[in-house]
Amino acid sequence: MSAQERKERERASRHQLIISTARQLAEAQGWDAVTTRKLAERIEYSQPVLYSHFRGKREILGAVALEGVTELTVALRAAVAEQPAGRPAVAALARAYTDFATDSPALYDAMFSLDNGLPFATEATPAPLREAFQALLDPLVAQAGPDEEPGLFVETFWAALHGLITLTRAGRLPADRIPSRITLLVNRFVGAEEPRPVQ
């Protein structure tokens, strides 16, 4: 391995270390606790080294968000793949999305609630964001009515899921009713086939 290759590998490793450390710190203490000073201390590099990778916290949030979106896409596709198309797939999608947000609240915030600098729904939208939206679109597109734009249909479903997650986390909705809310949401978008709540 050449000296240049070694330097590039070390830089990539340090870049990933910053992202991983930011995630761990945010999940443990919240995003307000994630500062460049604290990250530099945790990774045992100087702040100038950290700034050679990221211009500031917003770029770190963006990198964390892209990593999280990639993980979410994998989780959604895996959940849907285990179910037949239609209501079972959409219910599995909603459960997987909700579980992901519940299990990793700080990561979810970086992806969809905080200013991460990533453009959504534009020509400049990064590929991981497009892939995540496609993971939502694929099981839902057939459920849109003939006069409904599929993208808007999926955006509305996604917005409803996000709203349920956000209101539940804020204590505005009781957490124990999440399965019933998912069932109601899926029933409205796909149609009721099962009377019992989605577990």
Q: Which CATH number fits domain 57-199: 1.20.5.510, 3.40.50.720, 1.10.510.10, 1.10.357.10?
A: 1.10.357.10
Domain parsing of the chain, residue ranges: 1-54, 57-199
Label residue 191 by pLDDT band (50, 70, 90).
confident
- Which pLDDT score is estimated for 192? 65
Q: Exposed/middle/buried for 74, CB within 10 Å: 0-12, 13-18, 19+?
A: middle
pLDDT in tens, 94-109: 999 999 999 999 999 9
CATH class of 1-54: mainly alpha
Label residue 181 by pLDDT band (50, 70, 90).
very high
